[in-house]
Amino acid sequence: MTKIESGKTVTVHYTGKFDNGEVFDSSLKEGREPLHTVLGNGSLIPGFEKGLLGMTAGEKRTLDIDPVEAYGEYLDGLVTVVDKKNVPAGVSVGDVLQSQGPRGTMNVTVKNINEEGVKLDANHPLAGKKLIFEVEVLEVS
């Protein structure tokens, strides 16, 4: 059987959960397809990719991925408050906006709106979280 290694094309079903068991994403949801990618092309978080290495078609595994191997630690420095006039009218808490930063366009989440302004968070929504993935390898080529 062909083992997964960098450069191999893999097809996997996955279910991603938090420590408390809450599911945040799954390829098993109705209407979803399995994940199909080339390992090593940078499209997967590092811990997911490392967890797949050495697996073969038909194999199942649980991957426990710390934040540093997922979407990074939560960084307070990526949270800022801007004047209300600098955001579109009608924004609500939870909205995702695009902002221009020194590294180009990035997504920011509206965390709070009050008299002082609008609190924007540029951290990835999964930053700082340990992620648990149940994976099943369907194909390796």
Distance (Å, whole) CA 7 – CA 29: 28
CATH number at residue 29: 3.10.50.40
Q: What is the mean pLDDT of residues 115-126?
A: 93
| Domain membership of residue 66 as a residue range | 9-72+126-140
User: Which alpha helices (H) appear in 19-127, and where do they start and end?
Assistant: 46-52
User: Rounded to whole angstroms, how far apart are CA atoms 98 and 5?
Assistant: 36
The mean per-residue pLDDT over the stretch 109-128 comes to 94
Residue 2 counted as domain residue: no
Number of Cβ atoms within 10 Å of the Cβ of 118: 22
Q: Is residue 104 part of a domain?
A: yes
Q: Is residue 97 domain-shared with residue 131, that is, in the same domain?
A: no
The verdict on residue 1 lying in a domain is: no
Whole-number Cα distances in Å, 81 to 75, 110, 111: 15, 10, 10
Q: Write down the pTM of the prediction.
A: 0.84
pLDDT of 79 above 80: yes
| Count of CB atoms situated within 10 Å of the CB of 108 | 22
Same domain? 87 vs 130: no
Three-state SS at 34: coil
What is the pLDDT, as a whole number, of residue 108? 94
Average pLDDT rounded to a whole number, residues 127-139: 97
- 44 and 98 assigned to the same domain: no
The pLDDT of residue 56 is: 96
Average confidence score pLDDT of the chain: 94
Could you tell me whether strands 23-26 and 9-17 are parallel, antiparallel, or unpaired per DSSP bridges?
A: antiparallel
Q: To the nearest 10°, the Cα dihedral for 111, 112, 118, 123? A: -20
Question: Mind listing the pLDDT tens digit for each residue in 16-51?
Answer: 999 999 999 999 998 899 999 999 999 999 999 999
Q: Are residues 98 and 68 in the same domain?
A: no
